[in-house]
Amino acid sequence: DLAWQTQAHYNNKVGGLHDQVSRVSAASPKVGDKLHRNLAKQLDSAQALDLQMSQTIDLANRALAPKWQRTSDVLTKLCRYYVMVFEASGVLSAELREVVQELCGPKTAEAMVQRGQELADKARARISSTQFGRSVRDKFGVGD
């Protein structure tokens, strides 16, 4: 903050001195010397500001790097979870279509119930053998 204020001060001061020199055709050597001194101070203050900015950027990057890494880790896990869910949903969707086809044929009520139970057992066995089924069972205790 102080480095920026110093830089702004010398920018204004040098600008004013340039205006003063340009207005007076025969500027005094005293004004010329003052302009040169302030140009040197302006350059020094610009270098000091650049150094402060570089140090601040370095400190910010060091502070934020672990947070970006943790964010990256969380996003990676979230993406893997969704990949697993959507891959399993394709298998589940195909199996549900098969169930619909099996149940839609003309049958007696008793045969439909028996066939429904067979299909449910078949689906349960298939889901239990997939990564998705194991994940659900492990996390929620479903299907034990």
Task: Tell me the per-residue pLDDT of 95-120, one tens digit each, with 9 for 90 and over.
Answer: 777 777 766 765 677 777 787 788 88
Whole-prediction pTM = 0.45
**How many Å apart are CA 92 and CA 99, to the nearest integer?**
10
Tell me which residue has tokens 């000091």: 48
The residue with greater pLDDT, 114 or 132, is 114
Residue with tokens 């098969």: 98
